[in-house]
C-alpha cells in the first residue's frame, strides 16, 4: 500500500473512517484509525500515533496486547492509560476487590500467597509477557493474592469495569484472560515443586533466571532482604 501523506512524522494513507473518535484525543485516535498498513495486528506506529511518547512505554510493549487482533485491541485502547509503578508498591491486596487490570511494559510484578500469620511467599511473577487481574473480566472480583511491584515497572492499566465490558464482547480478549490464568497456575505448581524438592541455592538460581526473563534484563535491582522474602 502506498502511503499518501504524513502525520507528525509518520506516513499514513487516506482512510476516512475514525472508529476511535470518542473524546478530546480525537486527532490522535484518528491518526491511529488512518495508520498505514492493513496488518491483522496493531503496530508500534499505531500506538505512537494514538498516545503520547513517554518513558513508561506503549501498550504494545506488552506481548499479550500485541498478540490481539487489531479490532479487539481497538476496543481496549480508549480505556488504557500508561503508568509508572514504584518498586515495593502493593497494587492489590489479597481479599480486596480488583479495581484495575495491569499489562506490564517492563519490570516485574510478584504474586504472593499470604498466610494467616501475615507471612507471604511468591507463587508467580508477571512481566511484559503477561497480565495481572485479568480474571476480573470473568467475574473473579476479589484477588486471591497480594500483588507487589518487584522491580520498577511501567504498565498499561484498565478499569476492571471497562475490561469486563470488552471481555463480554471479544472472544480473543476473553481467551487471553483464561489462557494466562492457566500460565499463572502452572507457575504456582512449578514453584511448589521447586520449594519442596530443591535446595535454596537451586531455588535462588531459578528465581534469578526467572526475574531476568520477565524483566528482559541481566540486572536485578533487589536487596537481600527482599530476595529472602520472595524465597520464603
CATH number at 173 reads 2.60.120.10
The rounded percent of the chain whose pLDDT value lies above 70 is 75
Distance CA 85, CA 106 (A): 10
Residue 187 belongs to some domain of the structure: yes
Residue 186 belongs to some domain of the structure: yes
Residue 174 belongs to some domain of the structure: yes
Stretch 46-75: mean pLDDT:
78
Number of domains in the chain: 1
Residue 117 belongs to some domain of the structure: yes
Give residue for cell 520464603.
232
More confident residue, 184 or 217: 184
**Least reliable range by pLDDT among 127-141, 184-198, 217-231:** 217-231
Give me the residues paired with residue 102 across strands: 132, 157
More confident residue, 5 or 229: 229
pTM: 0.72
Are 102 and 157 within 8 A, CB to CB?
yes
Stretch 3-7: mean pLDDT:
34
Are 34 and 12 within 8 A, CB to CB?
yes
Are 32 and 49 within 8 A, CB to CB?
yes
CA 109 to chain centre: 10
Mean predicted lDDT score pLDDT of the chain: 77
Residue 16 belongs to some domain of the structure: no
Residue 87 belongs to some domain of the structure: yes
User: CA 208 → CA 100, 118, 204, distances in Å?
Assistant: 28, 25, 6
Provide the domain limits for residue 208.
80-230
SS3 assignment, position 135: helix
Residue 44 belongs to some domain of the structure: no
Amino acid at each position: 500500500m502506498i502511503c499518501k501523506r504524513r502525520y507528525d512524522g509518520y506516513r499514513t494513507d487516506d482512510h476516512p473512517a475514525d472508529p476511535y473518535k470518542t473524546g478530546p484525543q480525537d486527532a490522535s485516535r484518528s491518526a491511529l484509525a488512518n495508520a498505514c498498513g492493513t496488518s491483522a495486528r496493531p503496530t508500534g506506529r499505531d500506538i505512537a500515533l494514538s498516545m503520547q511518547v513517554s518513558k513508561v512505554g506503549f501498550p504494545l510493549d506488552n506481548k499479550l496486547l500485541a498478540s490481539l487482533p487489531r479490532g479487539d485491541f481497538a476496543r481496549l485502547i480508549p480505556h488504557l492509560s500508561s503508568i509508572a509503578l514504584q518498586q515495593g508498591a502493593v497494587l492489590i491486596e489479597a481479599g480486596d476487590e480488583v479495581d484495575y487490570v495491569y499489562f506490564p511494559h517492563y519490570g516485574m510484578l510478584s504474586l504472593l500467597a499470604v498466610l494467616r500469620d501475615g507471612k507471604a511467599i511468591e507463587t508467580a511473577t508477571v512481566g511484559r509477557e503477561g497480565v495481572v487481574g485479568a480474571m476480573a473480566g470473568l467475574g473473579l472480583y476479589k484477588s486471591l493474592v497480594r500483588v507487589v511491584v518487584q522491580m520498577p515497572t511501567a504498565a498499561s492499566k484498565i478499569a476492571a469495569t471497562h475490561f469486563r465490558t470488552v471481555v463480554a464482547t471479544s472472544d480473543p480478549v476473553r481467551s487471553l484472560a483464561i489462557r494466562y490464568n492457566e500460565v499463572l497456575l502452572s507457575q504456582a505448581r512449578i514453584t511448589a515443586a521447586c520449594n519442596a524438592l530443591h535446595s535454596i541455592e537451586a531455588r535462588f538460581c531459578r528465581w534469578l533466571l526467572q526475574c531476568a526473563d520477565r524483566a528482559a534484563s541481566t540486572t536485578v535491582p533487589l536487596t537481600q532482604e527482599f530476595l529472602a522474602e520472595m524465597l520464603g
